[in-house]
Amino acid sequence: MLAVTRLRGDDLLGEARAALSALAARPGFVRGRVGRSLDDAAAWVLATEWEGVGAYRRALSSFDVKAAATGLFVRAEDEVSTYDVVFSADASAGAGAGAGAGGAGTPR
């Protein structure tokens, strides 16, 4: 399960690191990244991957995550942010992997 939260703010790196660290300590966390737009310095993204939506929702309800991430999440865009992974590919799958390319991607 993917959680993709788009954020707006001038310098969110410190807050995003704290939020990601708190999320990473929760059961079911797989990986996470913080990104900043190359075209708009005020546009950020916090992208995390979870074993399932239940793990993600339980993580959000934990005190440590609330304490570390609430200030960041108030800057989140009001939009859908959770997605079920239905297909994936990575560099080790070789060239041409991906949806519709006939490559060695992984359907879910």
Kindly report, residue by residue over 64-92, the tens digit of the pLDDT: 999 999 999 999 999 999 999 999 998 98
Q: Please name which of 61, 63, 27, 68 lies closest in space to residue 46, comparing C-alpha atoms.
A: 68
Model pLDDT for residues 19-47, shown as the tens digit of each residue: 999 999 999 999 999 999 999 999 999 99
CA distance 105 to 87: 7
What is the total count of domains within the chain? 1
Assign residue 33 the CATH number of its domain.
3.30.70.100
The pTM assigned to this predicted structure is 0.83
- Taking a C-beta distance cutoff of 8 angstroms, is the pair 95, 89 a contact? no
Q: Given the structure tokens 């979870």, which residue do they identify? A: 50
Question: What residue type is 33 in one-letter code?
Answer: R
Q: Given the structure tokens 């996470």, which residue do they identify? A: 32
State the residue range of the domain holding 96: 2-107
